[in-house]
Copies of this chain bind each other. A is one copy, B any other.
């Protein structure tokens, strides 16, 4: 295997270069670098899912409009979303909290309070951690572990040509909320509050993820952290397939439709490239559609929304009235955010 040359978007390229550096994992590692979680065969019949995510002040959040309790909630939520994307049940978490010396230490307890609220909601026990001084801003890392029955685990790599592509909820709200907060757009609270909530306190779809896994209804799954265009491309690359999305079917949130003109953004663009929706994007064979809708109805969960299908190609194509557009990987890239030059592609 030749060493890959980083020409993709930053994060993908760097992770692939690191995976190359570390080489293949030992046999008890079922999944290493390249999915939402690592998976370990520690226990007969089930896998331990394990993930790690960092949120950095000035990159991922801004404490001028996010409360410390919301930060604690979100730090756990984004990790729980990774466990959900494999069909797993989150169970345990460790916290590393970097705290600026100039900031009142009591705020660390506000972070803990929000984290505790999320932990109770998602059934997670926070069982350890580390507190450190951070020179420039608050940095919070959580690592979460959980379980999935071995036969139920859903990878990114199982999508097959002809599978339908679904998402567990409407898109674009978190990105729209962020735009409004950043640009201090003045809009009616009835419109902005749910959008702010979507960005500040996202709700991972762990119940939907478990349901899909338990019933064997998803062939591939990922959580939407970077936006459909990037995250669906991850599924395509892992599954060696392509995808066709129909613009008119993309479930853009009605709130985003209403708000986007006020800050001059295309609602479809926010829905496909905005990132941080933390909905689950999954593929499922067409013959399972009736079973899928029945399962979600019985579980009292909102029905999944269909937005396209898996093709024999290797790109993510968006079909609009003007023709087809390649949107592969055109999503939110953590390395691009807040940095005008994408140093990874230079």
- Write the residues of chain A forming the contact surface with B, with a CB cutoff of 8 angstroms: 6, 10-11, 14-15, 17-18, 21-22, 25-26, 29, 31-33, 35, 37-38, 40, 42-43, 48, 50-54, 56-60, 92, 94-96, 98-99, 101-105, 108-109, 112-113, 116, 119, 125-137, 139, 141, 143, 145, 334-335, 337-339, 341, 343-344
Contacts and interface: CB of A to CB of B under 8 A. Distances in A.
Contacts of A17: 108-109, 112
A131 B32 contact: no
A96 B133 contact: no
B54 A18 contact: no
Contact of A335 (B53, B101, B137, B341): B101
A25 B119 CA distance: 12
Contacts of A92: 29, 38, 40, 50
A86 to B, nearest CB: 12
Contact of A119 (B22, B52, B53, B133): B22
Given A17-B109, A22-B127, A40-B145, 7 more contacts: A14-B99, A14-B108, A17-B112, A22-B126, A52-B130, A53-B130, A141-B141
Interface core residue of A15, A141, A338 (most chain B CB under 10 Å): A141
8 contacts: A6-B105, A22-B116, A32-B125, A33-B127, A101-B335, A102-B343, A103-B343, A134-B139
B14 A52 contact: no
Contacts of A11: 131
A224 B309 CA distance: 56
A133 B14 contact: no
A98 B139 contact: yes
A132 B60 contact: yes
A135 B53 CA distance: 16
A125 B26 contact: yes
Given A38-B127, A108-B18, A335-B101, A59 B132 contact: yes
A164 to B, nearest CB: 29
Contacts of A141: 52, 54, 96, 141
Given A112-B18, A133-B337, A42 B33 contact: no
Contact of A128 (B10, B33, B48, B136): B33
Contacts of A145: 40, 50
A119 B95 CA distance: 23
A179 B206 CA distance: 49
Contacts of A104: 343
A116 B17 CA distance: 13
A92 B58 CA distance: 31
A259 B52 CA distance: 41
A58 to B, nearest CB: 4
